[in-house]
Amino acid sequence: MSRTRCIALIAHDQKKDDMAEFARRNQAKLMSWRIVATGTTGGRIKDAVPELDVTRLKSGPLGGDQQIGALISTGEVDMLVFFVDPLTPMPHDVDVKALMRLATVYDIPMALNLATADILMQTLTA
């Protein structure tokens, strides 16, 4: 029996509007995915697209990034969309780098911006 594919969604503060727009535009495709998101990002996605079933984890700086990292390392996450704001300093920058490292180590598709996320959604949900 195959499991539902899982997508992890994270967005830095200045990119949360982009993530909400990404979810709105890809609502039909995202309906077939299990969605996990860090706390605030998950809340913004639910506000934008209430029909999506989003599992909200802790806020990124409070451990949400590590929770998603653990899901990646156990093979539960199939794709990571992490809208990074390179112009704003992040106090939890080490956590962010660790998460991107895990996505690379476990060879899962990872998008760090809207353009790449849209391409992945077209490719992986076709």
* Residue 116 is assigned to a ligand binding site: no
* Residue 123 is assigned to a ligand binding site: no
Residue type, 10: I
* Residue 38 is assigned to a ligand binding site: yes
Q: What whole-number distance in Å separates Cα of residue 10 and Cα of residue 43?
A: 11
Q: What whole-number distance in Å separates Cα of residue 6 and Cα of residue 34?
A: 4
* Residue 58 is assigned to a ligand binding site: no
* Residue 16 is assigned to a ligand binding site: yes
| Residue 53 is a catalytic residue | no
Q: Which residues contact 15 (CB under 8 A, 6 or more apart)?
A: 83, 84, 85
Q: Which of 17, 18, 47, 65 is flagged as catalytic?
A: 65
* Residue 46 is assigned to a ligand binding site: no
Q: What whole-number distance in Å separates Cα of residue 50 and Cα of residue 84?
A: 24
Residues contributing to the annotated binding site for substrate: 12, 16, 38-41, 59-60, 92
Q: What positions carry a catalytic annotation?
A: 65
Residues contributing to the annotated binding site: 12, 16, 38-41, 59-60, 92
